[in-house]
Amino acid sequence: MHWPDFNLEFPITDPTWIFFLVLVIILFAPILLSRLRIPHIIGMILAGVMIGEHGFNILVRDSSFELFGKVGLYYIMFLAGLEMNMEDFKSIRTKAIVLGLLAFIIPITLGFFSNVFILKYGFITSVLLASMYASHTLISYPIVIRYGISRQRSVSIAVGGTAVTDTLTLLVLAVIGGMFKEEYSDLFWVWLVVKVIFLSVLIIIFFPRIGRWFFRKYDDNVVQFIFVLAMVFLGAGLMEVVGMEGILGAFLAGLVLNRLIPHVSPLMHHLEFVGNALFIPYFLIGVGMLIDIRILFGHGAALKVALVMTVMAMISKWIACWATQKIYRMASLERELMFGLSNAQAAATLAAVLVGYNIILPDGQRLLNEDVLNGTVVLILFTCIISSFVTERAARKMAVKEDYEGMKAEPLEEENVLIPMANPETIEYLMGMALVMKDPKRKGGFTALNVINDSMTSVASQTKGRRQLEHAAMIAASADVTLNTVTRYDLNIASGIIHTLKECNSSEVVIGLHRKATLVDSFLGNMTESLLKGMHRQVMIVKCLMPVNTLRRIIVAVPPKAEYEVGFFKWLERICRMGSQLGCRVHFFAHPDTQRYLEEYINKKHKGVRSEFSELSNWDELLLLTRQVNYDHLLVIVSARRGYISYDPSFERLPQQIARYFNNNSLIVLFPDQYGDPQETVSFSDPTQHHESPHYESVGQWFYKWFKKK
């Protein structure tokens, strides 16, 4: 009998076992180190040290680590650009540029003098080595994502400063590297800057247009995910073609695709999940495999170089963050978070030392010798560990501070959005609209409803309703949102929605726009009109002609006296969230008296939202908006129920105006919360009635039936 041979030789070279061991590390390192209160990132790096050739020599840093490592590095920079709140970044871009310049000038100055006077290196070697102190990698950025503070001011400043610092560092690296090439000339660096600027402008102009076209044409999640990855690597590859590192192109791709990938969208969740689960840990393990801790106990020259490099890099970064804090009078916690994010050295540092190590001088020596190479490894180890600890500590404090301030704020109404499902074609649009309007901090608060009429309880209708609810649940799950699904049997659709709303204590209803079945059918439909009469909660009637994330502007028409309705601030909050998530401009047309309330609320609660205000003193001027609303805009019309404060008789003409002038536009007809007891939609005398039609509709229906018989 032949027994299988389980003898393993180290280092392991079989791809199956390599991948298995990496997955085991990714799985158990966070679990074990969380009990010791050690950041997960450090666990990945230390695991790489242990299994690498400088540790127990279990694995070799083969091509898979180089490939996945590069993908992980691009992923970190891409997510950094994607997570930034672009509206907030515009207000802090000066601070980011200042931090970036300080984080470049101070380290390269201190580093140059320390390299010349302490390490006794030459001019070019000292400049290249000092540029390594200036660069930094957002190794600890996944920590701020985990704590949900990626859109904090200090985080955006650190991310923007990283782009500035790394760009300048990579320019220095490219110029010094080019000096030892045959094609080098006096205008080499000028030509390099021109190429980088030209390519950056090209990415900024064309990538968003290509992305918007693609997302409108293809709505499959897998296809969209692959497209985004292709755009990231296209940007990185083009940047490498012109002589720069690809991390700059990946960061630019994240910035320009920012508005097309809302923070709460399923696509965003997929991107973060794949990166944090596989690519980024692979990169961190690969970095750890480069580290040789034995040089700490080796000869004195290597230890001296490592000590000078580490001390200079950390001190200079701290001075840059301290100076930025003092200039702009920021809190000490913000300085701590900026220092934690900007202290780690990995990507550009590795690129610089490898370029310098491979350059052979005329006298046969290397531009950066082995002492610098070993010192760089120690620099990476210590800066990554300190960066992770500092960022973890600051992020935890900031998250606790946010929660405490949120508890002190005025308690808001519990949000629970009810989304009735009737048409399979509108499910994705309704879910997308509801997701971009939700509170980003909440993971639940959604109920999908399918109402089956008691008189139509066929197996086909039940199967159709179940599939619609499953589709909605899949969309919510892909965005990491909890969705409750409800199937209800009732006398009619309207009463089923109203009763479910009461039972679930829903705060609002998001429903699709009714499609006219006959010529005399009303614009909203009998069911929607019954719904409005039978409840006083907010109702949003949605018609979307394109994916929500491709909308470029939101036009909001607000009637006079809308500020006196009880639901005024609720719908305004939803619109502001939508503008913030989509990164698009919100243009309000309202009476001057109403404008004051709109501006005050936005300035207090949503300063980052790009808002405009124009006068619409008379609701009869609604047709003037036809010149303002384009095909890729969303028109929001704030209406009111009959008999309430903001109701205007001209609302009677609203259906005809929408059907005639805004038929080819995406729109929302919004009925806000209003006081008063809702009218009963169901009576014992006629339990299947829908609503009490106005006289002119009754006459129209009678004529329609009479001509149909004839």
Report helix, strand or coil for 361: coil
Q: How confident is the model at residue 668 (pLDDT cuts 50, 70, 90)?
A: very high
Q: Which two tokens stand for residue 631?
A: 């095909």
Residue of higher predicted confidence among 138 and 637: 637
Tell me the pLDDT band of 166, cut-offs 50, 70 and 90: confident
Q: Is the pLDDT of residue 702 over 60?
A: no
Rg (CA), the chain: 30
Sequence-ordered list of residues with C-beta below 8 angstroms from that of 298, at least 6 positions apart, any chain: 374
Residue 6 has pLDDT above 60, yes or no: no
Residue 676 pLDDT more than 60? Answer: no
pLDDT of residue 135 exceeding 90, the answer is: no
Q: Give 693's pLDDT tier (boundaries 50, 70, 90).
A: very low
Q: Which of 228-232, 536-540, 700-704 has the lowest mean pLDDT?
A: 700-704
- Highest averaged pLDDT of the listed ranges 45-49, 238-242, 287-291, 321-325: 321-325
For the cut 90, the answer to whether the pLDDT of residue 42 exceeds it is no
Whether the model clears a pTM of 0.75, i.e. scores above it, the answer is no
pLDDT band at 523 (very low <50, low <70, confident <90, very high): low
Reduced DSSP (H G I as helix, E B as strand, rest coil) percent helix, strand, coil of the chain, to 5: 65, 10, 30
Question: What is the Cα–Cα distance from 264 to 261, expressed in whole angstroms?
Answer: 8
Residue count of the chain: 710
Q: Does 572 have pLDDT greater than 90?
A: yes
Mean pLDDT on 424-444: 85
Q: DSSP for 393-416?
A: HHHHHHHHHHHHHHHHSPPPPPP-
Q: Above 80 in pLDDT, residue 268?
A: yes
Report the pLDDT averaged over residues 622-645.
Answer: 85
* Residues 281 and 72: beta-carbon distance below 8 Å: yes
Residues paired with 539 in a beta bridge: 509, 671
Q: Lowest-confidence range among 36-50, 226-240, 250-264, 387-401? A: 36-50
For residue 460, give both structure tokens: 């086909």
Q: In the numeric block, which tokens belong to residue 390?
A: 């500092």
Two structure tokens written together for 37: 């209160």
pLDDT (0 to 100) of residue 587: 93
- Tell me: cis bond preceding 694? Omega within 30 of 0 counts: no
Q: What pLDDT is recorded for position 681?
A: 40
Please tell me what DSSP assigns to residue 563.
Answer: G
Mean pLDDT for the stretch of residues 422-450: 85
Confidence category of residue 298, pLDDT binned at 50, 70, 90: low
pLDDT at 584: 86
Paired tokens of 527: 């069911």
611 Cα distance to chain centroid: 20
In this predicted structure, the answer to whether residue 474 has a pLDDT above a threshold of 80 is: yes
Contact 47, 24 (CB under 8 A): no
Strand order, beta sheet including 508-512: 483-490, 446-453, 417-420, 508-512, 538-543, 666-671, 633-638, 553-557, 585-590, 611-615
Q: Which of 630, 583, 578, 629 is nearest to 208 (CA)?
A: 583
Per-residue pLDDT band for 322 (boundaries 50, 70, 90) equals: very high
Give the residue with greater pLDDT, 27 vs 80.
Answer: 27
Between residues 418 and 66, which one has the greater pLDDT?
A: 418
Question: Alpha-carbon distance 17 to 19, whole Å?
Answer: 5
Neighbours of 21 (CB within 10 A): 16
When pLDDT is cut at 50, 70 and 90, the band that residue 267 belongs to is confident
> What is the predicted pLDDT for the residue at 490?
81
Reported confidence tier of residue 39, pLDDT bands at 50, 70, 90: low
- pLDDT score at 402: 66
- Of 158-167, 341-350, 426-435, the one with minimum mean pLDDT is 341-350
User: Among 175-179, 205-209, 633-637, 695-699, which stretch is predicted with the lowest mean pLDDT?
Assistant: 695-699
Residue 354 or residue 76, greater confidence: 76
Q: What angle do CA 419, 423, 425 make, to 5 degrees?
A: 105
Give percent above pLDDT 70 in the chain. 84
Strand partners, 509: 418, 539
Task: Inform me whether the pLDDT recorded for 689 exceeds 50.
Answer: no
Is the predicted pLDDT of residue 210 greater than 90, yes or no? yes
pLDDT band at 704 (very low <50, low <70, confident <90, very high): very low
The answer to whether residues 482 and 443 touch, using CB atoms and an 8 Å cutoff, is: yes
φ, ψ for residue 344, nearest 5 deg: -70, 140
Residue 415 is predicted with a pLDDT of: 84
CA distance readout (Å), 419 to 219, 473, 513, 623 = 21, 11, 12, 30
Q: Is residue 428 within 8 Å of residue 570, measured between CB atoms?
A: no
Q: Is residue 518's pLDDT more than 50?
A: no
Checking if the pLDDT of 73 tops 70, the result is yes
Cα angle at 296 between 290 and 302, to 5 degrees? 85
Please determine, for residue 521, whether its predicted confidence score (pLDDT) is greater than 70: no
Write phi, then psi, for 672 (nearest 5 degrees): -75, 170
Residue with more model confidence, 31 or 571: 571
Find the range with the poorest average confidence among 178-182, 482-486, 705-709. Answer: 705-709
Taking the C-alpha atoms of residue 168 and residue 654, their distance in angstroms, rounded to an integer, is 57
Give the model's pLDDT for residue 231: 93
CA–CA gap between residue 336 and residue 321 (Å, rounded): 8
What is the Cα–Cα distance from 275 to 268, expressed in whole angstroms? 11
- Whose CA is closest to 450, among 511, 539, 382? 511
